[in-house]
Amino acid sequence: MNKYILDSSALLALFNSEIGSDKVEELLPLSIMSTVNIAEVVAELDKKLNISFIQSKEMILASINKIVALDFDQAIEIGRLKKETEQFGLSLGNRACISLGLITGYPIYTADKIWAKLQLNCKIVLIR
């Protein structure tokens, strides 16, 4: 059974062996991610670590238990969150992750410290 949501920053912390990666590793068997956040991870792995898309795909599939495709309800929630989170500069990917947390009720794990300031009806846990 899935219990946690990982933001792209959390999975990238794991892949880069950053502070907090140990916490992320413990959550992997019960974690889910949005396809939008997967896209962010792939782009960052290519840009910063020069990891091929094929290798990125293998790394992600070996790590994430369930990948959730963006659906209509999430899309509506992402749009609704735009105005509410604008002052924090959240990306579409950030809002996709948060929308998944709001819809499922699962806590969201992230490395983005600005998320601690959000006043939303979901649990956000900083990995460091």
Per-residue pLDDT band at 126 (split at 50, 70, 90): very high
Q: What is the CATH number of the domain that holds 89?
A: 3.40.50.1010
How many angstroms separate the CA atoms of 95 and 61, rounded? 22
Per-residue pLDDT band at 88 (split at 50, 70, 90): very high
| Helix segments in the chain, DSSP class H | 8-15, 21-27, 35-49, 53-63, 72-85, 92-104
Structural domain range at position 47: 4-126
3-class secondary structure, 89 = coil
Kindly state the average pLDDT of the residues 30-55.
96
Number of domains in the chain: 1
Task: Examine the pLDDT at 105 and tell me if it is beyond 90.
Answer: yes
* pLDDT value for 114: 96
